[in-house]
Amino acid sequence: MKFKSTSFKINSNKPFEIIDITNKINQEIASFGANEGIVNIFSKHSTSAIVVNENETGLLKDLEFTLSNLISDEYSYQHDKIDNNASAHLKSFLLSSSETIPIKDSKLDLGTWQSVFFIELDGPRNSRNVSLAIIFE
Ligand code: ZN
């Protein structure tokens, strides 16, 4: 077994943005020569998320719609007194900061309809940092 870690940067362009990072992760896995193993994908930010789901345009709009209905921007949240982005943090609480996914045949062993997404909840931002930790052989 070997262990390697790396990270890459993401720039977001909108307040809420879903960015498919599947290909980027597969490139990193291939560059490590990882045939089989597991990879942990972790976002180092509390107003973003890493999730696995289907890359279908309508569905991604549905996620934005659902999150914005669950966590209204109309309320006055305590954290808004600090830096005015409580709703972004609260959406991040409901999602996940990381995913751990099996590697098979030198790529993510995802289901047919699954992609890995970085979700920006407080954009636009430069240099969002996503780290990968890979255990492989
Ligand atoms: Zn904050």
Residue pLDDT, tens place only, 17-57 = 999 999 999 999 999 999 999 999 999 999 999 999 999 99
Instruction: Quote the CA–CA distance of 34 and 28 in Å, as a whole number.
Output: 9
Q: 38 near 102, Cβ under 8 Å?
A: yes
Q: What is the distance in A from the centroid of ligand 1 to the CA of 7?
A: 23
HSE, CB side, 13 Å, CA atoms: give it for residue 66: 8
Q: What is the distance in A from the centroid of ligand 1 to the CA of 66?
A: 21
Q: What is the distance in A from the centroid of ligand 1 to the CA of 83?
A: 5
Q: What is the pLDDT along the chain (137 residues), one digit of tens a residue?
A: 999 999 999 999 999 999 999 999 999 999 999 999 999 999 999 999 999 999 999 999 999 999 999 999 888 999 999 999 999 999 999 999 999 999 999 999 999 999 999 999 999 999 999 999 999 99
CB within 5 A of ion ligand 1: which residues? 83, 85
Instruction: Quote the CA–CA distance of 100 and 43 in Å, as a whole number.
Output: 12
pTM of the model: 0.96
Q: What is the distance in A from the centroid of ligand 1 to the CA of 81?
A: 9
At 74 the pLDDT is 85
